[in-house]
Chain A
Amino acid sequence: MADGVVLLDTYFSMFGMRARLALAEKGIDYEYKEENLGDKSPVLLEMNPVHKKIPVLIHNGKPVCESLIIVQYIDEVWKDNSPLLPSDPYQRAQARFWADFVDKKVYDAGRRLWTTKGDELETAKKDIIEALKLLETELGEKPYFGGENFGFVDVALVTYSSWFYAYETCGNFSVEEHCPKLMEWVKRCMEKESVSKSLADPKKVYDFVLFLRKKHGLE
């Protein structure tokens, strides 16, 4: 490959999946490095000394951190195909708003779904359904959040779909029942090779969640 592109990641991370997805959309060859978060590599600590988190995209030796920043970087560098962000500033602002909403509302409620019990769990369930319903309304009748084409918000949200089975099982509910149009959108996205090859297997994600719950005494 002409450019050296390395991605520090973990298989289960919905944030890492976004980077994988953006790289696949652009058809970029890269070296994938699976990190062990219980034993972070010197490269990770050197490339992201501030947060010590994945994903980190290393392009020609220079690190880019934070998944949505990575996706925008990929979109700006490899700008000649499959644009992820729209060119109109207002549309771009809307796309950034909804991606930010996903990380503020869906992530937080999702995390509480597998780390809490009782009343807290019920609140988490209510919150995640509310967040997903708002997103479903924003999608409307469009094939993708990006309109006719798969875009930035689609990248931001579809990676969470690999965690839906884990959320549903922990919370005892069905995303499809509350947000049928959103699940249609998930299926539509999964028909894209860039998506299906970038997302972790939901059953494996659930096994991982069970492992984490046991490890942290959350059973």
Chain B
Amino acid sequence: MADEVVLLDTFFSMFGMRARIALAEKGVEYEHKEENVEDKSALLLEMNPVHKKIPVLIHNGKPICESLIIVQYIDEVWKDNSPLLPSDPYLKARARFWADFVDKKVYDAGSRLWTTKGDELERAKKDFIEALKLLEADLGEKQYFGGENFGFGDVALITYSSWFYSYETCGNFSVEEHCPKLMEWVKRCMEKESVSKSLTDPKKIYDSILFFKKKYGVE
């Protein structure tokens, strides 16, 4: 292949999964490198010296960091098929808004769901459900957040679905019960090969959470 594409990633990262989906949507071949976040490779430290985090996309030797920035980059470089962002500036702004919302609200509440207990956990559950309900309202009757076609907002959120089982088990609740239409959307997305082959098995994610909880004493 003319392009050299490498993705530094970890199997459980909902952020890394976004890059995987975007590359799969565009049919881009790449080398996937699994990082150990507790023993970061020299390559990762060189390619992302500022944050030292995954995912990092390395395209012909040049790094791009931060998952939503990576997805936009992939969309702009491989622009001839499966556009992820709409061409209309207003719709683009809305797509970016909801992707930003996911990272502000869903990520934060989700993290608190598996790292806290008691009242804090109950608050996290309430916040998490509230955030998903807002997203479900924005989805409305559309097939995807992108409308008829799978798009940027879908990429941003669908990767969190691999963490739902963990969140539900830690928080003792069901996403489906509160947001049935959102779960229908999840199932619809999972019918796409780019999604099903990019998302990590929810049970594997739960196992890694249990491991981190034990390791960091968050029982």
Q: B73 contacts A90, CB within 8 Å? A: yes
Query: Bound state CA distance, A100 and B73, in angstroms?
Result: 15
Q: Is A89 an interface residue (CB 8 A)?
A: yes
A9 to chain B, nearest CB (A): 17
Residues of chain A from 20 to 78 with CB closer than 8 A to chain B in the complex? 50, 59, 62, 64-66, 69-70, 72-73, 76-77
Question: Which of A64, A66, A70, A100 sits near B69, CB closer than 8 Å?
Answer: A100
Query: Bound state CA distance, A96 and B70, in angstroms?
Result: 10
Q: A69 contacts B69, CB within 8 Å? A: no
Query: Bound state CA distance, A96 and B66, in angstroms?
Result: 9
Q: A69 contacts B62, CB within 8 Å? A: no
Contacts of B62 in A (CB 8 A): 90
- Given A96-B66, A96-B72, A134-B50, the answer on whether A69 and B59 have CB atoms closer than 8 Å is no
Query: Bound state CA distance, A93 and B47, in angstroms?
Result: 14
A15 to chain B, nearest CB (A): 13
Q: B72 contacts A64, CB within 8 Å? A: no
Q: A72 contacts B59, CB within 8 Å? A: no
Q: Is A101 an interface residue (CB 8 A)?
A: yes
- Given A50-B101, A96-B66, the answer on whether A69 and B73 have CB atoms closer than 8 Å is no
Is the interface on chain B under 10, 10 to 19, 20 to 34, or 35 or more residues? 20 to 34
A213 to chain B, nearest CB (A): 26
Q: Is B100 an interface residue (CB 8 A)?
A: yes
Question: Which of B50, B64, B93 sits near A69, CB closer than 8 Å?
Answer: B93
Q: A69 contacts B97, CB within 8 Å? A: yes
Query: Bound state CA distance, A65 and B99, in angstroms?
Result: 12
Query: Bound state CA distance, A77 and B101, in angstroms?
Result: 23
- Given A96-B72, A101-B50, A134-B50, the answer on whether A76 and B65 have CB atoms closer than 8 Å is no
Q: A62 contacts B96, CB within 8 Å? A: no
- Given A72-B93, A73-B93, A90-B64, the answer on whether A97 and B69 have CB atoms closer than 8 Å is yes
Q: B89 contacts A89, CB within 8 Å? A: no
Q: Is B216 an interface residue (CB 8 A)?
A: no
Query: Bound state CA distance, A134 and B72, in angstroms?
Result: 24
Q: Is A187 an interface residue (CB 8 A)?
A: no
Contacts of B90 in A (CB 8 A): 59, 62, 64, 73
Q: B76 contacts A92, CB within 8 Å? A: yes
A138 to chain B, nearest CB (A): 9
Q: A93 contacts B73, CB within 8 Å? A: yes
Contacts of A65 in B (CB 8 A): 97
Query: Bound state CA distance, A50 and B138, in angstroms?
Result: 11
A151 to chain B, nearest CB (A): 16
Q: A69 contacts B100, CB within 8 Å? A: yes
- Given A90-B73, A92-B76, A96-B72, the answer on whether A64 and B93 have CB atoms closer than 8 Å is yes
Question: Which of A73, A77, A93, A101 sits near B64, CB closer than 8 Å?
Answer: A93
Q: Is B134 an interface residue (CB 8 A)?
A: yes
Q: Is B92 an interface residue (CB 8 A)?
A: yes
Contacts of B59 in A (CB 8 A): 90
Residues of chain A from 95 to 111 with CB closer than 8 A to chain B in the complex? 96-97, 100-101
Q: A93 contacts B72, CB within 8 Å? A: yes
Q: Is B77 an interface residue (CB 8 A)?
A: yes
Contacts of B72 in A (CB 8 A): 92-93, 96
Contacts of A96 in B (CB 8 A): 66, 69, 72
B48 to chain A, nearest CB (A): 10
Q: A66 contacts B50, CB within 8 Å? A: no
- Given A66-B96, A92-B76, the answer on whether A76 and B89 have CB atoms closer than 8 Å is yes
Interface of A with B (CB < 8 Å)?
A: 50, 59, 62, 64-66, 69-70, 72-73, 76-77, 89-90, 92-93, 96-97, 100-101, 134
A-B contact pairs, 30 of them (CB 8 A): A50-B134, A64-B93, A64-B97, A65-B97, A66-B96, A66-B100, A69-B93, A72-B93, A72-B96, A73-B92, A77-B89, A89-B73, A89-B76, A90-B64, A90-B73, A92-B72, A92-B73, A92-B76, A93-B64, A93-B72, A96-B66, A96-B69, A96-B72, A97-B64, A97-B65, A97-B66, A97-B69, A100-B66, A100-B69, A134-B50
- A-B CB proximity, top 8 nearest: A89-B76, A76-B89, A93-B73, A73-B93, A93-B64, A64-B93, A96-B69, A69-B96
